[in-house]
Amino acid sequence: MAVKLGVPSKGRLMEQTFAWFAARDVRLTRTGAAREYAAEVEGVAGLELVLLSASEIPRELAAGRIHLGVTGSDLVREELADWSAQVVELALMGFGHADLIVAVPKVWVDVETLDDLDAVASRFRAAHGFRLRIATKYHRLVRDYLRAHGVADYQLVDSQGATEGTVKNLTAEAIADITSTGETLRANHLKILSDAPVHRSQATLFASRTADWTGMAPVLQTVMGQLGLSPPDDFSPVL
């Protein structure tokens, strides 16, 4: 039996995750051919590495199929309803930073805030007979955010491709998407509303509350000590 650690299987997020653990003397290595997802761990006995896509990790944590996982804080909050009842944050890792924001066309010179957006949405529906469309991949987070800020008369439309292009393609009037530099938004003649972002995301190490931790506490305590982390007060497997 082993504590299973899920990490992103490719790209910069995988490389930064490996570097973060290596800096704490836990060496994660991808082994085998390029299309194989074999991996190994050195530095902590009883810790098993599982390579997954970043978007799979929240669901695997919630299902209890992995004990620990590294993924974006935005993905956990979007994928898991009542996420804090299913997983617990162990560490903010300091990379993978991106903001989930709401953006509108630059030509909307009188729209700078969510209050402005709400007013425009009301006028838009009266003029066009349907609600203003906001393209996004993050339905749960954006819906909760707009509700909390009193924005009405809008509809969320799903975007799994280049969200920034939906306004130009006339499939949405505004967008809500992740951005780190804003360059793609500017290239598509969009501007970010001045309110606080929907969510400030970064790579985070999570633990599953639903996994079977029977007999795993010693390994987890070793992992936490190696990583220089203190266990959360409400996380019983480390007691």
**Spatial CA neighbour of 146 closest among 133, 162, 164:** 133
3-class state of residue 39 by DSSP = strand
Tell me the domains of the chain and their CATH numbers: 3-96+202-238 (3.40.190.10), 98-200 (3.40.190.10)
Give the C-alpha separation, 132 to 147, whole Å. Answer: 15
Q: Indicate the length of the chain as a whole number.
A: 239
Give pLDDT tens digits for 10-51: 899 999 999 999 999 999 998 765 555 667 899 999 999 999
Phi, psi angle pair for 218, to nearest 5°: -60, -40
Give pLDDT tens digits for 107-142: 999 999 999 999 999 999 999 999 999 999 999 999
Which amino acid is residue 94, in one-letter code? G
